[in-house]
A and B are shown apart, each in its own frame.
Chain A
Amino acid sequence: MKNLPLLFCGILIALAFSFTGLVLSSYIQLGSLAQTTETLDETGNPVDGDPLYPAKMSGSALRGKAVYIDLGCVYCHTQQVRRAGYGSDLEREWGKRHTVARDYVTQANVLLGRQRIGPDLMTIGDRQSDANWQHLHLYNPKITSGGVSTMPRYAFLYETRAIDGTASVHALQFEADSKYAPAAGYEVVPTDRAEALVEYLLSLQLNYSLPEAQISE
């Protein structure tokens, strides 16, 4: 190759081309996507007075999300529901509708994920709304999965301590004669991080419609 200006331009344009085509055009289409109401009025605008979705997350749930990120949960759990007829996400009841781009516009970090070593968590707060279940599952996943789960224990988020006087109200409730329960006179108490993480997991719900993705009953 002797035509060096052509080579240089080609090198630069080749990448500029895909950047424009994929990243910039997506930005133009999605960059100003905002919250909206569940249905639109006749003019195609959000209905005045209706609540806006997706709702913003509470502060403690956001702290829990930071824990979710720093523990790398995203490497085994996705947060996206595929449409009906493409995969079996809806049949598995991982959501009442598929997710769309607008579902993520209020999130500072989007955790779509690309591996389902464990199940999808987009709607885990709908599916398991019991905080104690979530805590037991994090403390030792074998408790809630009949011993099958390959998820690691996150026991370091919990503190096992001798019961001092009365038992803590936050202590994990084990089933009677559970082999995973702490010894008599001891209790398992979640740390702040565990509380925040469970708060976040419980907040993962998909129980609202969007104009472009209605929940069909």
Chain B
Amino acid sequence: MSNAPQSTSQSTSTVACVRTVLSEIDASIRFPALFFVIAAIHWLIVGTGLTLITALQLHQPSFMAGCEFVTYGRLYPAATNAMLFGWGCNVIFAIGLWIMARLSLAPIRSGGMLIVAGLFWNFGLKIGILGILAGDLTAAEFLEIPGYATPLLLISYALIGAWGILAFRARQGQGVYVSQWYILAAFFWFPWIYMIAEFMVVWFPARGVLQSITSSWFAYSFQNLWLTPMALATAYYVIPKVIGRPIHSYALALLGFVSLALLGSWTGMVQLIGGPIPVWISSVSIVAAVMMVVPVITVALNLYLSVKGQRAVVWRSPALRFVMFGVLSYFFANMVGSLMAFRSVNVITHFTTFPIGQDQHVVYAFFSMVMFGGLYFMLPRLTKREWPSTRLIYCHFWGSAFGITIVIVSLIVGGWLAGNQMNDATLPFLDVVESMLPWLKIRSVGVVCLAIGHLAFIINFLWMLFTIGFTRAKPGPTLLESANQEGAA
């Protein structure tokens, strides 16, 4: 069934033909992708709720402290894992596979298996999160999911990742686009880093601080070789599609990809600067973290030049607005990250909320915002419906943009001030704790804004999914800042 359109696309390369093939591909991946989107949104709700509770607990320690299962020490890892493995990985599976299939002009075969694999992934994750809440968490950050749940995650991932690689193998046509490099590479990198980390930290713990070295290596590789490439692939895909012209420079794209691949997994030991490890290990990571400016500047510049002069288009398209916010955050987050690696800066920021703000900068302001943009672009094509409400899109964008800015600024500024106080040994530690309180309260306000934004997004999504008659009749894509009939909707 899928052979016919492919062979036509080889003989004739008219736009109409490609369109037919693309809608064929969209149809082949519709249900698996929607499944992953729904799963991602489900974890987004869980993660946002847990994050809000932990944010409040930090300045209101009596909040929900009576019951062991909802103490900060349990909820915090549960929130992180729900966001990273629930929201992050599911949205990657949806968008990554979709982009890979489209660019390879290869429909996804037996998508039912993909859904089964997805069910197992989310089932395993649910066991893992419940295990964390029940007190089975391991001691390593980002690897808290208990050892009995991770094999399920790895096995189901093997199926999901294989589908991406199979789609690439079945590709039609000559060129391999930059998004495909990133997605293909990340699909290989993730199981590798995850398996090594599970082996050396959880299943057969290595001796002493090797555990910490391995889990830091994992944490930063997870950011730089899993979340980042997938988000960049999305940005590289969505921007030319919406703008309607190719990306600015192939050479810059290549340089950005190669330098990220070479440097991305070397930066982890920044987390251990000053710690009980040989100094050369953290020095290597400091060098790598500073050199990360190369992939960051090339990619950000390339993407910026690709939309140059099209500000109105960027601002009107919901997808591009989110994506460009993410690209800007990619630049700023990594600049701050490189700065934080210097020993003289790190001596202040280490152990404070500064690195936490930095994590949020990368994982939310960059990765999640780009992925939201990807969803705004993908879902109308998958469901063949338009986004029902412009107002809710506005609400989502401004809630997320304001919220994450407040969160990052409060954690980074508060962390910086606290770090300076902590290094002044004449100041009692409890004074440092007290002066952090206002910043933590501001942070909670930011998290509330995020929650409002997510709520708007979820309502809009469910509306789109279930209100069939009204939305199908809508002419043209949903755009922002246009004085049309949308204001009434």
Contact = CB atoms under 8 A, between A and B. Distances in A.
A99 to B, nearest CB: 4
Nearest to B61: A152
Contact of B225 (A15, A31, A33): A15
A22 B74 contact: no
Contact of B274 (A21, A83, A146, A152): A83
Interface in B261-285: 261-262, 264-266, 268-269, 271-272, 274-278, 281, 284-285
Nearest to A104: B208
Interface string A10-22: 1110110111011
A70 B429 contact: no
Interface residue tally of chain B, by bracket? 35 or more
A26 B137 CA distance: 26
Given A69-B139, A72-B73, A110-B208, A15 B193 contact: yes
Interface stretch (A55-63, A115-123, A172-180): A115-123
Interface stretch (A45-53, A84-92, A160-168, A194-202): A84-92
B476 to A, nearest CB: 36
B342 to A, nearest CB: 13
Interface stretch (A36-44, A73-81, A128-136, A182-190): A73-81
A17 B281 contact: no
B394 interface: no
Contacts of A101: 208-209, 276-278
Given A30-B208, A150-B58, A92 B429 contact: yes
Interface in A132-174: 141, 145-146, 148-156
Interface string B63-77: 001111001111011
Given A19-B196, A109-B139, A114-B351, A1 B181 contact: yes
B485 to A, nearest CB: 45
B433 A87 contact: no
Contacts of A150: 58-59, 61, 433, 437
B424 interface: yes
Nearest to B67: A156
Tell me the interface secondary structure of chain B in the complex: helix
Contacts of B356: 115
B350 interface: yes
B61 to A, nearest CB: 4
B209 A30 contact: yes
A75 B76 contact: yes
Interface in B424-475: 424-425, 429-430, 433-434, 436-437
B207 interface: yes
Chain B CB within 10 Å, residue with most, of A33, A80, A154 = A80
Contacts of B51: none
Contacts of A149: 61, 430, 433
A124 interface: no
A153 B61 contact: yes
B334 interface: no
Interface residues of A, number: 71
Chain B CB within 10 Å, residue with most, of A71, A75, A150, A156 = A150
A105 interface: yes
B104 interface: no
Given A23-B217, A78-B351, A156-B68, A10 B275 contact: no
B206 A27 contact: yes
Contacts of A71: 68, 71, 73-74, 135
Given A23-B217, A72-B74, A150-B433, A99 B266 contact: no
A21 B284 contact: yes
Chain B CB within 10 Å, residue with most, of A2, A72, A73, A88 = A72
B4 to A, nearest CB: 26
Contacts of B136: 70
B76 A72 contact: yes
Contacts of B368: none
B347 interface: yes
Interface string B183-195: 0110011001100
Nearest to A106: B208
A27 to B, nearest CB: 6
A114 B271 contact: yes
A191 B211 CA distance: 31
A2 B65 contact: no
Contacts of A141: 61
Contacts of B210: 23, 26-27, 30-31
A148 B433 contact: yes
A107 interface: yes
Contacts of B437: 150
Contacts of B298: none
Nearest to A146: B430
A23 B424 CA distance: 34
Interface string B251-262: 000100010011
Given A70-B137, A87-B350, A152-B62, A2 B425 contact: no
A216 interface: no
Contact of B429 (A7, A29, A119): A119
Nearest to B250: A1
A7 B176 CA distance: 10
Given A112-B212, A116-B422, A149-B430, A11 B261 contact: yes
Contacts of B189: 11, 15
16 contacts: A4-B176, A15-B188, A15-B192, A18-B264, A22-B217, A26-B278, A70-B135, A75-B73, A91-B425, A92-B429, A102-B208, A114-B355, A151-B61, A152-B61, A152-B71, A152-B72
Q: Shortest 3 CB-CB distances between A and B: which pairs?
A: A72-B73, A91-B425, A70-B135
Given A4-B176, A73-B73, 8 more contacts: A10-B261, A11-B184, A11-B261, A15-B192, A15-B225, A22-B217, A22-B269, A23-B213
